[in-house]
Structure 1
Amino acid sequence: MIFDARHYWIRNAHVPASIVVNGNKWTSRNGRNDNLLHVDLEIVDGAISAILAAGTYENYASPSIDLQGGMVWACFVDLHTHLDKGHIWGRASNSDGTFDSALMAVKKDSQKNWNAEDVYRRMEFGLKCSYAHGTKAIRTHLDSAGKQGSISFEVFRELRKKWADRMILQAVCLVSLDYFLTPEGEKLADLVAESDGILGGVTFINPEIDQQIDRVFSMAKERKLNLDFHADENDDPDSDTLRRVAETAIRQKYRGKTVCGHCCSLAVQEESEAESTIALVKKAGIGIVSLPMCNLYLQGRRPGKTPRWRGVTLLHELKQAKVPVAIASDNCRDPFHAYGDHDALEVFSQSVKIAQLDHPFGDWASAITSTPADLMGLPNVGRIGVGLPADLVLFKGRNYRELLSRSQHDRIVLRDGKAIDTTLPSYAELDDLLEK
């Protein structure tokens, strides 16, 4: 196989221009506002050694493969997942598809089943799926109240070590913010620091919300931790915790990286209020990650009624304000989202259709590659460039209309220039867990 060679070329490929970080600027032959570059890539010893305009050479001395115009992406970066919740649907379904029912189902299941073996096997199942689909870096939130924090962070550390040669893993603690006003919250922050994790939690409007947010920022500064919040995952225009997080970051002069996920209520607020919040988010240096698939599933559910909105935040407006915007998987096959397979291409495909990230596609490819990599502090991940590892995903689809119209199940995933086994794990691996 050509991908076993030390030196080879990938010819006649289309690459999203926004994820190419060095080399010449080429004019796309693809057109239609796809913002694609038509290139040949040279791979030597697992790294990209040259990027040339397609057809620069008539003949190549080294082995080569003609992609016939197929697209090449950098391996994906999944900024917001819940690997610890994943794949429990068979024993903990959501009775009506609502957010409240999801909370209750997960709480009941975690109290009964979430020991170290259970969490480990389900988290690793998610990693196997992600890896086979072409993801290189993942940030997962871990339910962390009480003893669960110790269990799940220990499992996370084990998996991070085991998968270190294949996947970059980060973990965020997940509790409601009032937890950090207690001694248990202090212990959790220390556990996060000891685990090289990210401090985080869910922001709910309540009389003490400002005090809670302020305390979390102080704890992060004391321990030199980055922050990652679930914010405003609802359709209540009075839910403004994103604004409060931004104001606190500015007031405390916080210099770490802050990410806020969901931020759905921003889309139902008055335009002037939303614009004001976005300006504060920009000033605070906060990155936003939207979870279109999960929020489409949960938001706006009413028995016997058709949902009237899509549950996504103001992606276009945030991006136009130059706020870093990413998209991610969120939950897979659990009470918060009954579907999903940790496939970042599916996330991108669905997000394009849900949030209309086309006409033109522009640089939205960055939202599942280089932008989340930057928010995770990974400057050499999620992009294609000379000198970078040949961590690539090769598709037969030659443009976005072809890429997003089929599953691309026959994609080729390269890690350090070598093709990996893209066989997905069988659901049967978890059957004994789901019989509990």
Structure 2
Amino acid sequence: MRDALQRAGSRFWLRNARAPGVLVPGFAAERDAEGLVRLDLRIEDGCVAGVAPAGARDAASPAGSATDGVDMQGGQVWPAPLDAHTHLDKGHIWPRTRNPDGTFGGAINAVMNDRAAAWSEADVEARADFAIRCAHAHGTVAIRTHVDTYLPVARGSWQVMTRLRERWAGRVALQMASICPLDRFAGPDGEAIADMVAGAGGVLGMVTRHSGELHEDLPAGFREELDHFFSLAEARGLDLDLHVDESGESGARALREIALTALRRNFKGRIQCGHCCSLSIQPEEFAHETIAAVAEAGIDIVVLPMCNMYLQDRVPGRTPRWRGVTMVHEMRAAGIRVSVASDNTRDPFYAYGDLDMVEVFREATRIMHLDHPFGDWYRAASADPAEAMGMKGRGLIAAGQPADLLLFSARFMTELLARPQSDRIVLRDGRPLEATAPHWRELDAVVGVGD
């Protein structure tokens, strides 16, 4: 397949393929029981030039026929994914700073210690660039990273991410969002953080807890602090991206307050809320009232199933009793856009991961039952994060879009989700990508380990 693609040139048919029908807008072919369609794609000069039913001739491309070109043999083709919630500045510190007990509190303390001891610009840049190279090799075309924003040291991390955004432009679109506890936005620091984020073209973000606390009951003064946080964003025309209710505590009810604040203020920017774990253990009536408010406010939700299963309900010597993820099916039924994302990578919040959105979708499907039927969940790693990130049109297979695609030999979803798909072919601008994920040894000197 790779050899055939190399020989195909810049204009060819990618024929006899399957794709999720919800990711091929306007395509009227019959969908099978898993929601897949059979199609042929016309690739011209780096873009998708047309989509045709399998075996048919596309009148828009008379120079080519669907009987010519590269035969997918019934394998699947997906649009390149987007990863809407990561932490590139924390990534890959696990070898030097582990989470001693695997808990959320243990993760916070470990990262704080590592940041104080080792986060120079060179350190952050080496680890973040390594992570982006991994994502790129796996096929991801856009990443939003949260950047620990504790002044004054955070300025160096933001400068690093700005350099990486420029370095990776045209290959991986990089977005940045601030992250620090809500109380950090009180007083002059809040103005300074918001100004720095605006100056870097970023997204204003925070966690819905106070410094030194966990996601439990809403902290004193929460509503007033949240209102001030919104005002900082409004004054600068910034979108919001928030870490919300990341616990199994029934008193963690920030999501509802965020939605009500957005509605009361008639907030004009985009809002994305991540985690929202505690919603799953709230009383049913309160949970559905919260979901209705989130839907009315137009808030996007991003869930991080691998990280949340790793951290939530972890008690030494005790088997976890719940999955740590939020009410995604109820949210989707209410019309809320729900994405899945990687979150942390080889750091104290999650010891594993490789910024591989195929892995994320596979594990999310298993953890949250996104199958039987798959329905619209195919959008959760592609079109939905694209819209949440302000990149509408990406994450779809459509004429005029870049031919940034993932090609799988797997024909059916049971094949696609049964294996890691390490043999996938990544197309960028219609050509096979030769990049491979870097070896862990490249970070040995950075994180202080060796063979």
Q: Give the TM-score category using the shorter length.
A: over 0.9
1:7-406 alignment runs, 5 A limit? 7-22=11-26, 24-28=27-31, 31=32, 33-57=33-57, 60=65, 64-204=69-209, 205-406=218-419
Is 2:27 the partner of 1:3? no
Q: CA deviation at 1:18?
A: 1.1
Q: CA deviation at 1:363?
A: 1.4
Q: Is the 8 A contact 1:266 1:274 kept in 2?
A: yes
Structure 1: gaps (5+ residues):
none
> SS in structure 2 opposite 1:125?
helix
Q: For the residues of structure 1 that align with 2:271 and 2:405, how far apart are their CA atoms? A: 28
**Letter of the structure 1 residue corresponding to residue 179 of structure 2:** L
Q: For the residues of structure 2 that align with 1:62 and 1:313, how far apart are their CA atoms? A: 46
Q: For the residues of structure 1 that align with 2:133 and 2:86, how far apart are their CA atoms? A: 14
Q: Percent of aligned pairs with the same residue?
A: 46
Q: Is the 8 A contact 1:16 1:363 kept in 2?
A: no
Q: For the residues of structure 2 that align with 1:427 and 1:285, how far apart are their CA atoms? A: 40
TM-score, reference length from structure 1: 0.97
Deviations 1:324-368 (A, max 9, x none): 101100001000000001000000000000001011011111000
Distance 1:182 1:34, change over 3 A: same
> SS in structure 2 opposite 1:170?
strand
> SS in structure 2 opposite 1:26?
coil
Deviations 1:2-52 (A, max 9, x none): 434021111111111111123x31013xx3x31011000010111111111
Q: For the residues of structure 2 that align with 1:61 and 1:235, how far apart are their CA atoms? A: 53
Deviations 1:195-253 (A, max 9, x none): 00000100022001111111111010000000000000000112100001001101111
Distance 1:198 1:357, change over 3 A: same
Q: CA deviation at 1:61?
A: 8.1
TM-score, reference length from structure 2: 0.94
Is 2:427 the partner of 1:414? yes
**Letter of the structure 2 residue corresponding to residue 16 of structure 1:** P
Q: Is the 8 A contact 1:7 1:63 kept in 2?
A: no
Aligned residues: 432
Q: For the residues of structure 1 that align with 2:412 and 2:94, how far apart are their CA atoms? A: 35
Q: For the residues of structure 1 that align with 2:350 and 2:227, how far apart are their CA atoms? A: 31
Q: Is the 8 A contact 2:40 2:66 kept in 1?
A: no
Query: Which residue in 1 is equivalent to 2:61?
Result: none
**After TM superposition, what 4+ stretches of structure 1 lie above 6 angstroms from structure 2?**
none
Q: For the residues of structure 2 that align with 1:253 and 1:124, how far apart are their CA atoms? A: 38
Deviations 1:60-98 (A, max 9, x none): 389511111111100001000001000000000011100
Q: For the residues of structure 1 that align with 2:180 and 2:405, how far apart are their CA atoms? A: 35
**Letter of the structure 1 residue corresponding to residue 16 of structure 2:** N
Q: Is the 8 A contact 1:128 1:424 kept in 2?
A: yes
Deviations 1:383-406 (A, max 9, x none): 110111101000111111100001
Deviations 1:296-339 (A, max 9, x none): 00001011010000000000000000001011000010000000
> SS in structure 2 opposite 1:381?
strand
Q: Is the 8 A contact 2:82 2:141 kept in 1?
A: yes
Query: Which residue in 1 is equivalent to 2:446?
Result: 433
**Letter of the structure 2 residue corresponding to residue 152 of structure 1:** S
Q: Is the 8 A contact 2:331 2:338 kept in 1?
A: yes
Q: For the residues of structure 1 that align with 2:131 and 2:407, how far apart are their CA atoms? A: 21
Q: Is the 8 A contact 2:22 2:378 kept in 1?
A: yes
Q: Is the 8 A contact 1:413 1:422 kept in 2?
A: no
Q: CA deviation at 1:422?
A: 3.8
> SS in structure 2 opposite 1:380?
strand
Q: For the residues of structure 1 that align with 2:80 and 2:384, how far apart are their CA atoms? A: 13
Q: For the residues of structure 2 that align with 1:377 and 1:2, how far apart are their CA atoms? A: 35
Q: Is the 8 A contact 1:84 1:119 kept in 2?
A: yes
Deviations 1:149-174 (A, max 9, x none): 20111001100000001011100000
Q: For the residues of structure 2 that align with 1:392 and 1:203, how far apart are their CA atoms? A: 36
Q: For the residues of structure 2 that align with 1:366 and 1:148, how far apart are their CA atoms? A: 37
Q: CA deviation at 1:147?
A: 2.2
Q: Is the 8 A contact 1:17 1:363 kept in 2?
A: no
Distance 1:315 1:61, change over 3 A: closer
Q: For the residues of structure 2 that align with 1:102 and 1:254, how far apart are their CA atoms? A: 33
Deviations 1:251-272 (A, max 9, x none): 1110100000000000000111
Q: For the residues of structure 2 that align with 1:214 and 1:400, how far apart are their CA atoms? A: 45
Structure 2: gaps (5+ residues):
59-63, 210-217
